[in-house]
A and B are shown apart, each in its own frame.
Chain A
Amino acid sequence: MSGLHELTLGAAAEGLSKGEFSSLELTESCLAAMADRRDLNAFVTETPDLARERATASDARRAAGEARGPLDGLPYAAKDLYCTEGVLTTAGSHILDGFVPTYESTVTANLRDAGMVMLGKANLDEFAMGSSNVTSYFGPAKNPWGPRDGRDLVPGGSSGGSAAAVAARLAPAAIGTDTGGSIRQPAAFCGIVGLKPTYGRCSRWGIVAFASSLDQAGPMARRVRDAALLLGGMASHDPKDSTSVPAEVPDYAAALTGDLRGLKIGIPKEYVADGMPGEIRMLWERGADWLKDAGAEVAEVSLPHTRHALPTYYIIAPAEASSNLARYDGVRFGLRVPGDTLEEMYENTRGAGFGAEVRRRVLIGTYVLSAGYYDAYYLKAQRVRARIAEDFRTAFAAVDLLLTPTAPSAAFAIGDKEDDPIAMYLNDVFTVPTSLAGLPGVSVPAGLSADGLPLGLQLIGRPFDETTVLRAAGVLEEAAGFSAVPGMLREDS
C-alpha cells in the first residue's frame, strides 16, 4: 500500500474512525494522485481548496466528538452533471461555458451535509449522451486499464471520468448518473462497482437533465459495501423532485449478509445475444454458479421484448433530451453567440454550443415529437416501453433477481465505433431495458477478458429492492475475488 488514496471507501472510513489518519491527510493523498494522473483526463475541474476546507472542517468535527456518521471526512468525485454551488458545472458541454451554479444539487448537498469531501468534477460524455466519454467537450477520459496495442481505451460512459478516477485510485468513490447504462457500463469497463438505484430513490434536483423519465443518480466504488455506504448518503425523499419517493432509506451496508438461501435468480434467455463473446457467456454462467453456491436457486426466465428496448430508448431519450435542452438558448447562462436577431442568436448559440452527438439526438428528438410523427414514433415507443416494463413485472413474479452481463464487450479503443452511432448505442443493450423499467441494477467486476480487461456482471432487482441487489452483488464480489489492478498502476510500482 503506497498511499492513502489507494484505500477503499470502507477502509478509509475505518482508518478515520480509528484516528489512524486525518481527513486532510487522506484528501491530500487523493489530490496528489489526481495531479499526478492528469493524463487520464478524469476531471474537468479539480477543487483542491474546497476539498481541503471540507476535510479540515471534518477533522475538527471528529476531534470534537461530533463526526456526522460513517461518511464524514471521506473524499469523492462528482460527475460534472451535478450542479455544485460556486463550482463550475459543465455537463461536458461547451454550451454551459462558464456556468457557476448558485445552488447545490440535492445529492451533493446530502453528501456535503454528511461530511463528505468533494475532490472535483469528473469528466463525462456531453450531457451524459454517450457510452465512451468521447463526446465530452473537454476531451475523452482514458481508461486506466489501457492502453492496448498502443491505443488508449475508453473508460465507458457517460460517467467515464468518475469510473476512471475510482479505478485509478484517485478517489475512493464517485457519484455518477445513469440514464441507459451510464453508471453500470463504465463500472464494468473500469473494473469497479456501479449501482443505478430505482428511479425515484435519489433526487434528480440539481442534476443537469438529459432524459427526465430515465435519469437516476448512483454510487461508483471499488467494493459493493462502499457502494452501499455511499448510496445511503445519496438517497433521500426530496420535495423538490416530485418523482423522488417518500420511502425510508434502509441501512444498505447491513444488507450484505452473504446469505442467498431461498433467493431465486432469473437468467433472461433473450440476453443470449448473437455474437456474444464466449468469454462473456462463460463468465455469466460462472456467475450463476457462484450464486447457486451461496444457496440461491437459478432459473431461466423470458423477457420477450428485450430486443426492442434499444430502439425504444433511442426514441424516448432523444425526445426528452430535445425538450430538456431547449433551455440552452444563450439568454440566461452559459455560452452566447451573437446574432442579428433573437432567433439567430438562439440558432448560433445552439449550433456552436452542442457537439455532434448532442446535435444528432436533439434533431432526432425534435423529429419524433413533431406534428405528424408524434404518434408513429413517440407514442409507439411509450407503448412498447409499457410492454418492456410488463416483461419485468412478469419475471419478478417468479424470481427475486435477474443476472446478466453488464456490457457486450470489454473496453474498446478511443476512436472505435465513432462513425457508426448505432454500433455505439449497442453498448447499452443489457442496461437499457432496466432503465426503461426504472429498476435497480448493479455492475460487479467479475473477471478479466483474454486481453486482461475487466468484465462486469449485472444484477437487476425489483423496484426499491436495492438491499437484495446489493446482498447478491456482495456474494458475486466475494466469489469472483476480483483483485486485478489496472495496468497503469502496475507500471508505477
Chain B
Amino acid sequence: MSLDKDTVRNIAWLARLKVPEEALDGLAGELSRILDWVEQLDEVDTDGVAPMTSVVDVTLPVRDDAVTDGHHPDRVLVNAPDRVDDYYAVPKVVEQ
C-alpha cells in the first residue's frame, strides 16, 4: 500500500494531529514502507480463525452498579491547563 501526501494529510486530520506541510512527503514514504512490510500477513491462512481480543482466558468480571468514588473536583481539576470554577475551559465551541 503506497500512501500519498493527501492520504497522510487526511489520516493526520482523523487523528487530530497537526503535521507540518513539509513533513507530509517524508511521512508518506515511512508509513508506506511500514504498511508494505506488515502486508506480509496476507500470506497467513486465517480462514475460520476468530480474531483474538484478549490473551487472558477469564470472563471479565461484573461489578455492582454503584457509585464508589467521586466528589473530588479539586483533585480532578488540579492539572487542568485552564479552568473556570469547577469546569475545564476550552476555546468557544458554540457560536452565539
- Residues of chain A within 8 A of B58, CB atoms compared: 200, 243, 245
Interchain CB contact under 8 A, B17 and A308? no
Q: Tell me, yes or no, whether B71 is within 8 Å of chain A by CB.
A: no
Q: How far is the CA of A382 from the CA of B11 in the complex (A)?
A: 22
Question: Judging by beta carbons under 8 Å apart, are B30 and A330 in contact?
Answer: no
Q: In the complex, identify which listed stretch (A25-33, A105-113, A334-342) lies at the interface while the others stay far away.
A: A334-342
Known: A329-B16, A360-B27, A380-B46. Contact between A239 and B63, CB under 8 A?
Answer: yes
B55 lies within 8 A of A386 (CB):
no
A342-B93, A360-B27, A370-B11 given; A382·B78 CB < 8 A: no
Asked whether B70 is an interface residue with its Cβ less than 8 Å from the other chain, the reply is no
Query: Mask for B38-76, Cβ within 8 A of A = 1, else 0?
Result: 111111101001111111111011010000000010011
Chain B residues 66-93 with CB under 8 Å of chain A are: 72, 75-76, 78-82, 88, 90-91, 93
- Residues from chain A with a CB closer than 8 A to the CB of B34 are 314, 360, 364, 421-422
- Chain B residues positioned under 8 Å from A124 (CB to CB): none
Q: Which residues of chain B are near A362, meaning CB under 8 Å? A: 15, 17
- Is A213's beta carbon under 8 Å from chain B? yes
A460 to chain B, nearest CB (A): 14
A384:B46 contact, CB within 8 angstroms: yes
How many pairs of A and B residues are in contact by the CB < 8 Å rule? Answer: 162
Q: Is the CB of A100 within 8 A of B55?
A: no
Across the interface, do A351 and B55 meet the contact criterion of CB distance under 8 Å?
Answer: no
* A315 contact from B38, B49, B52, B81, Cβ within 8 A: B38
Separation of A72 and B31 alpha carbons in the complex (Å): 48
Is A333 part of the binding interface, using a Cβ–Cβ cutoff of 8 Å?
Answer: yes
A102 to B77 CA separation, bound complex (whole angstroms): 10
Q: Tell me, in angstroms, the Cα distance from A364 to B37 when the chains sit together.
A: 12
Please, how many angstroms separate the alpha-carbon atoms of A463 and B27 in the complex?
A: 39
A367 touches B11 (CB 8 A): yes
A339–B39 CA distance with the chains assembled, in angstroms: 38
The chain B residue with its CB closest to the CB of A313 is B38
1/0 per residue A303-339: CB within 8 Å of B?
0010010011011000000100000011111111011
Q: Is the CB of B17 within 8 A of A213?
A: no
Q: Which residues of A contact B91 (CB under 8 A)?
A: 338-342, 344-345
Number of interface residues of B (CB under 8 A): 52
Query: How far is it, in angstroms, between the C-alpha of A332 and the C-alpha of B86 when the chains are bound?
Result: 12
Query: How close is B47's CB to chain A, nearest CB, in angstroms?
Result: 9
Any B CB within 8 A of the CB of A343:
yes
A69 interfacial by beta-carbon distance below 8 Å: no
The answer to whether B81 and A333 touch across the interface, beta carbons within 8 angstroms, is yes
Known: A333-B79, A347-B18, A362-B15. A422 touches B46 (CB 8 A): no
- Across the interface, do B15 and A312 meet the contact criterion of CB distance under 8 Å? no
Interface centre among A98, A366, A463 (most CB of B within 10 A): A366
Contact A380 B41 (CB under 8 A): yes
**Docked pose: A314 CA to B41 CA in angstroms:** 11
Specify which chain B residues have a CB less than 8 angstroms from the CB of A387 in the assembled complex.
44, 46, 49
Distance A151 CA – B15 CA, assembled complex (angstroms): 37
Interface check A381, CB cutoff 8 A: yes
Q: Which of B53, B56, B63, B78 contacts A100 (CB 8 A)?
A: B78
- Residue among A242, A351, A360, A385 making CB contact with B60, cutoff 8 Å: A242
A199 within 8 A of B: yes
Most buried by A among B15, B33, B40, B90: B15
Residues from chain B with a CB closer than 8 A to the CB of A363 are: 8, 11-12, 15, 17, 27, 31
Question: 8 shortest A-B CB distances, which residue pairs?
Answer: A438-B55, A351-B18, A382-B51, A333-B79, A336-B81, A383-B46, A386-B52, A347-B18
Beyond the given A308-B44, A360-B30, A364-B31, could you list 4 further A-B residue pairs with CB under 8 A, ordered by the A residue number? A350-B15, A381-B38, A381-B41, A438-B56
List, sorted by A's number, 21 A–B pairs whose CB atoms are closer than 8 Å.
A102-B72, A102-B78, A213-B54, A308-B43, A311-B38, A314-B34, A315-B38, A331-B88, A342-B90, A347-B16, A348-B18, A350-B15, A350-B18, A360-B30, A366-B11, A367-B11, A382-B52, A383-B46, A385-B51, A386-B51, A438-B55
